[in-house]
Structure 1
Amino acid sequence: MNKSMIVLVAAFAATAVQADTLKKIKDTGSVTMGVRESSGALSYTLGNDRYAGYHVEICQRALSDIQKQLGMAKLDVKYQPVTSQNRIPLVQNGTVDIECGSTTNNATRQKDVAFAVTTFVDEVRIAVRADSGINGIGDLAGKRVATTTGTTSVQTLRKHQRANGVNFKEVFGKDHSDSFLLLESGRADAFVIDGATLAGNIARSKAPADFKIVGEVLSVEPIAIMMRRDDPAFKKAVDDSIKGMISSGEINKLWDKWFMQPIPPGNTKVGLAMSESTKQALASPNDKPMEEYVVK
């Protein structure tokens, strides 16, 4: 075997080891969870390196099940804030082992990463100030529309059939809280993103009654927990844990806790009932991409 072949084999072996997340967890006694700072009630910061939310708690429970599966007395869970821009690269390069935020499962991303079974099906919508006079896509002509860098929401808006001939200016926030601040401060007239993120940011704002979610459903998107690709053992462990939460009814309790009850830090309530699309996804657990969902 020549020198170049040895290098290639060594590189392949290193990649294979890195993809064995269960072994990595067992060997190091730790796991890194990717979290978001302002993804509504799905994943958000409480400050002081503390994170909470529906997907954060689902991940915490899945990792607890994996700890038991591996026979570990202790598992150190480290939290790594991620953004829409860096979340996929950080999963791919091994910095983050499991990403528990608000990532849409689509066909393009499935080429780079893997997704657990869907735990949330969302609708991309438009948030505006209540007194803006904006009630749908047609009212966005000449307006400033905020979105978060690294997301596909405004592209989705532009592709909508009712957006034909509607010209607006796109402004970017570095994360969801920054995008909402653009709306809140008047630097944007609308904010386009998934409804759960919109509802969560509105609920935690200084004056929730000043904002509303309006207009047409722009897309229906399965939101799921993300992992490295080509690591079937870890995906199965996460999927099995989530399926257990679904069959036991625990997932419904978590939904009620994070979307229907007051949540910290301000004890505000998002008030987001489980959609029929989410109920269907939970009834038949799957990791189908958004391309298989239809906007009605």
Structure 2
Amino acid sequence: MSKKWLTLLAAILFSLSVILSGCGAKQTSTANLLRVGSDTTYAPFGFQDEKSREYVGFDIDLIKAIGKQLGYEVEIQSMNFDGLIPALEGGTIDVAISDMTITAERSQKVNFSQPYYTAGLSIVAKADNKTITGFKDLEGKRLGVSIGSTGAEEAHKIKDATISEFNSITDAFLELKNGGVDAVINDAPVNEYYVINKGNKDAKIVGEPINSEDLGIATSKKNPELTAKIDNALSELKKNGEYEKIYLKWFGKKPPQ
């Protein structure tokens, strides 16, 4: 082989090594990326800040803290609540965190972390409504819920109720304001945040929460190792005080012991 061909071959091999090393760097970066799906209409768990346009909230801060603990870069993808589990099953996201109740039905499709918050379903009615004082008064009423939620499941149990299922809970609240539904059934912390910050002139909380529901961080059944990592990180955040700090920021009180 001539000297000219040896020089050309060396140049080709060098170019290939650069390309391959670049690919390797890209794969490493992807491996350290945590793709997180969240329905960002569930304030104070996840929502878009009106000024910064950034996604903020308890869930957002918590998953970012977990990502930092694990050495992951966190990428938030906003999507409808009922699309979160299909996205996990399809592999387009790695994690779903969105005020998601741990249920037996959902646990057949995804893995859940240890509970990170305990919520319960409550009712929002119009401020001038005097006929609805609790769940016992919802029979035959027009009810607004978020599609795929436990609030929707509960609403369908109520006799003669007319159920309107919305892609986002904010749409359900808007329908209540406009008089299209008589009440909204949803997780109590989200209802409370809405009434205090958005609908205090138009809406009110009625009755007491009817149940207690544990929220969990969902991951794919194909990735049990990630579930274990998230559990470990969550336990560490509870030990070092970071979880309490985030909880105080969004709920104004310390988490229950």
Q: TM-score range by the shorter chain?
A: 0.7 to 0.9
CA contact (8 A) 1:117 1:239 kept: yes
Distance 1:132 1:104 in 2: 29
Unaligned ranges ≥5, structure 2: 1-26
1:119-198 residue pairs with structure 2 within 5 A?
119-133=116-130, 134-159=132-157, 163=158, 166-198=159-191
| Aligned counterpart, 1:109 | 106
Secondary structure at the counterpart of residue 126 of structure 1: strand
Instruction: Name the Cα RMSD after superposition.
Output: 2.2
CA contact (8 A) 1:114 1:226 kept: yes
Once the 2 structures are TM-superposed, how far is the Cα of residue 178 of structure 1 from its aligned partner? Answer: 0.8
| Aligned counterpart, 2:231 | 239
Matched, 1:37 2:68: no
CA contact (8 A) 1:40 1:199 kept: no
Gap change, CA 1:195 and 1:79, over 3 Å in 2:
same
Q: Among residues 214, 217, 224, which one is paired with 2:209 in the alignment?
A: 217
Matched, 1:201 2:194: yes
CA contact (8 A) 1:35 1:44 kept: no
Gap change, CA 1:128 and 1:96, over 3 Å in 2:
same
Matched, 1:85 2:82: yes
How many residue pairs get aligned? The number is: 229
| Aligned counterpart, 2:97 | 100
Distance 1:209 1:25 in 2: 51
CA contact (8 A) 1:156 1:218 kept: no
Distance 2:155 2:129 in 1: 19
Distance 1:76 1:109 in 2: 27
| Aligned counterpart, 2:68 | 64
CA contact (8 A) 2:195 2:205 kept: no
CA contact (8 A) 2:126 2:182 kept: yes
CA contact (8 A) 1:120 1:224 kept: yes
| Aligned counterpart, 1:254 | 246
| Aligned counterpart, 1:263 | none
Secondary structure at the counterpart of residue 85 of structure 2: helix
Cα distance per residue 1:10-31 (max 9 Å; x no partner): xxxxxxxxxxxxxx77544422
Q: TM-score, normalised by structure 2?
A: 0.81
Cα distance per residue 1:54-101 (max 9 Å; x no partner): 11111001111111xxxxxxx543221121210101011111111121
Moved over 4 A (4+): 24-29
Larger radius of gyration: 2
Distance 1:44 1:25 in 2: 30
